[in-house]
Amino acid sequence: MSGPPATADQLGAEHRHPGVAHHRHELDRVSRPPGHALVVFGASGDLTARKLLPAIAALEEHGALPEGFAVVGVARTEWKDDDFRQAAARAAGDHSPSWQKLVSTFRYVAGEYGHPDTFSELETVLGELDRTAGTGGNRVYYLATVPDLFGVVAQGLADHGANVPGPGGSFSRLVVEKPYGHDLQSAKELDQALHAAFDESQIYRIDHYMGKETVQNVLALRFANAIFEPVWNRRYVDSVQITVAEDLGVEHRGGFYEKAGALRDIVQNHVMQVLALTLMEPPSAVDAQGIRDEKVKLLRAVMLPEVDAVASMAVRGQYTAGTIGGQPVPGYRQEEGVDPQSDTETYVALKLAVDNWRWAGVPVYVRTGKRLEKRATEVTLQFHRVPHLAFGANLARDLRPNSLLMRIQPDEGISLIFGAKVPGEEFRLRSVGMDFSYTEAFPGVTADAYERLLHDVMIGDPTLFVRTDEVERAWQIVDPLLEAWAEEDSPLSHYAAGTWGPHEADLLLARDLRQWRDP
Ligand code: BG6
């Protein structure tokens, strides 16, 4: 991962003032990338405005951009440099003089992605910037277009030699957004198209969950502490739950979501990444190969669902009208851009199994959904019950098994749930929590996921990016579900917006005498 290890001095400072925030440490210590041009394809689009431009602005504010830096937008929209510059100023919502100065250097190329002229013009602009802005022949190409065009753009770049690192060790990197295919076959085809133009070592596939501080903190919790790893296995862990709950609906993305659904949109990527980090073996080093080798090994151990058995291990649901935060909200079928007869799932619950020495027999329950009661992403390790309860069952009725809860968002933190004696004459027991809050320990701003990931691309650190073998394995796991759900009589459950999902998802756990944790 980026950044040098903390020096003894830095650690000393933390020790002398425990709990005192040094929230700028991380950002203050980031290395400045070498000079380069960042080329954004899909520059007039939503993702650029919502995520990329604010991330570039944040990097600028934190002094993490190189001296020689330029941004070039490319899109079909007939804009001029000035239109892009205005969009950049608006998107970042910040008018600091230094950001304005940077934005005034942004360039824009309008053109069709399939047309050679677009790439010739881009080449001319980039050559000019090498001479005037000190970008040194280095390039980061960011694919923020609709996914159908990823391969076309990569080919256009290759045809103009833009994929080949230049003389003197300059670099050329390609950043690819999700969705990375819509099933295993299409992901393989996309890979073929990209690999025809770029080497795997040049490709950075984004999963923004990997850029979240609290997702990375799973690694710290597990591998920077001696007390957790010994119990991180089937001997102590009864079951694992992963929840990615959103209270938002599909917003204005109904058209996109109709073709995606919750399984493709969240489970194939974000959930699989979190699951892999939580359950993988310790890597010998937290670096690109160490982390990604272990993640893919774990994903390979996830048992592939049998198409015929999908009904017994998976539930899909769709929200109907309901109430969120006291406000009435429409059902999925009434959302803009959605077919009124749509069978697209907005909720998924799964029971997965990991077939290896560490996790044999430990069910991994996963759920995600839109328009649930509240936004909450968390991972829970539920431990076994004590082998013998020496207190009367009546006195222990409020006692739950131990669990370790990693709250990824919001309210980021970690809680250990354990039993305590309720004060009083009786020996009554109750579960209580020992809580760590991220914002209390590290007040202040933490880098947004996109800011972090963009910076990692700039310095050439692929640790937090998804490798081709991980993507393929994740599709292998979800493909049988897609196949089963494509059948006409495949059941679709419904749940009212603002609830915790369909009743069938509760039954999935109740059958195993377990229940979902209430976030
Ligand atoms: C995106 C999905 O990848 O992740 C969205 O396409 C979803 O549908 C979003 O809302 C959730 O991200 P976050 O960071 O808000 O949890």
Q: Is the CB of 246 under 6 A from ligand 1?
A: yes
What's the 266 CA to ligand 1 centre distance in angstroms? 7
pLDDT tier for residue 446 given thresholds of 50, 70 and 90: confident
**Per-residue pLDDT at 10:** 37
**Per-residue pLDDT at 252:** 87
Burial of 147 (0-12, 13-18, 19+ CB in 10 A): middle
| For residue 435, pLDDT beyond 70 | yes
135's tokens: 């970008």
User: Where in the sequence of the chain do the CATH 3.30.360.10 domains occur?
Assistant: 211-234+241-382+467-510
Average predicted confidence (pLDDT) for the chain = 91
What's the 209 CA to ligand 1 centre distance in angstroms? 9
What's the 227 CA to ligand 1 centre distance in angstroms? 33
pLDDT tier for residue 91 given thresholds of 50, 70 and 90: confident
| For residue 171, pLDDT beyond 50 | yes
Give domain 8-205's CATH architecture: 3-Layer(aba) Sandwich (3.40)
CATH no. of 211-234+241-382+467-510: 3.30.360.10
Residues 429, 395 contacting (CB under 8 angstroms): yes
pLDDT digits (tens, 9 = 90+) for 10-37: 333 333 333 333 333 444 456 789 999 9
Helix (H), strand (E) at residue 377: strand 376-383
Query: In the block, which residue shows the tokens 């039993």?
Result: 419
**Per-residue pLDDT at 7:** 36
- Of residues 441 and 18, more confidently modeled: 441
Q: Is the CB of 207 under 6 A from ligand 1?
A: no
| For residue 243, pLDDT beyond 80 | yes
User: For the residues 113-130, what does the mean pLDDT come to?
Assistant: 96
Q: Is the CB of 412 under 6 A from ligand 1?
A: no
Smallest CA-to-CA distance from 115 within 161, 164, 153, 162 is with 153
User: For the residues 279-301, what does the mean pLDDT come to?
Assistant: 96
| For residue 131, pLDDT beyond 90 | yes
pLDDT digits (tens, 9 = 90+) for 185-230: 999 999 999 999 999 999 999 999 999 999 999 999 999 999 999 9
Give me the DSSP letters along 162-208: TTS--GGG--EEEEEPSP--SSHHHHHHHHHHHHHHS-GGGEEE--G
Helix (H), strand (E) at residue 240: strand 237-245
User: For the residues 295-301, what does the mean pLDDT come to?
Assistant: 98
**Per-residue pLDDT at 241:** 98
- Of residues 398 and 293, more confidently modeled: 293
Cis peptide before 167 (omega within 30 of 0): no
The number of beta carbons lying within 10 Å of the beta carbon of residue 131 is 8
Which atom of ligand 1 is nearest to 449's Cα? 14
Least confident range from 233-242, 293-302, 346-355, 394-403: namely 394-403
User: For the residues 378-402, what does the mean pLDDT come to?
Assistant: 93
Closest protein CA for atom 6 of ligand 1: 265
Instruction: Give the HSE-up count for residue 244: Cα atoms under 13 Å, Cβ half-sphere.
Output: 21
**Per-residue pLDDT at 448:** 87
Q: Is the CB of 265 under 6 A from ligand 1?
A: yes
Mutate to test the pocket of ligand 1, among 251, 256, 265 (most ligand atoms within 8 A of CB): 265
Closest protein CA for atom 9 of ligand 1: 266
Mutate to test the pocket of ligand 1, among 178, 266, 379 (most ligand atoms within 8 A of CB): 266
193's tokens: 């198209």
User: Where in the sequence of the chain do the CATH 3.40.50.720 domains occur?
Assistant: 8-205
Q: Is the CB of 373 under 6 A from ligand 1?
A: no
**Per-residue pLDDT at 162:** 87
User: For the residues 304-311, what does the mean pLDDT come to?
Assistant: 96
| For residue 1, pLDDT beyond 70 | no
The percent of residues above 90 in pLDDT, for the chain, comes to 83
| For residue 329, pLDDT beyond 70 | yes
Active-site residue numbers?
270
pLDDT tier for residue 392 given thresholds of 50, 70 and 90: confident
pLDDT digits (tens, 9 = 90+) for 51-90: 999 999 999 998 999 999 999 999 999 999 999 999 999 8
**Per-residue pLDDT at 19:** 33
Which atom of ligand 1 is nearest to 246's Cα? 10
**Per-residue pLDDT at 154:** 95
**Per-residue pLDDT at 57:** 93
**Per-residue pLDDT at 25:** 41
Q: Is the CB of 238 under 6 A from ligand 1?
A: no
Smallest CA-to-CA distance from 454 within 48, 162, 25 is with 48
Q: Strand 376-383 relative to strand 237-245: parallel, antiparallel, unpaired? A: antiparallel
What's the 248 CA to ligand 1 centre distance in angstroms? 10
Closest protein CA for atom 8 of ligand 1: 265
**Per-residue pLDDT at 27:** 47
Q: DSSP label at 282?
A: P
| For residue 501, pLDDT beyond 90 | yes
Give me the DSSP letters along 319-374: EESEEETTEEE--GGGSTT--TT----SEEEEEEEB-STTTTT-EEEEEEESSBSS
| For residue 510, pLDDT beyond 70 | yes
pTM value is 0.92
**Per-residue pLDDT at 360:** 98
**Per-residue pLDDT at 445:** 65
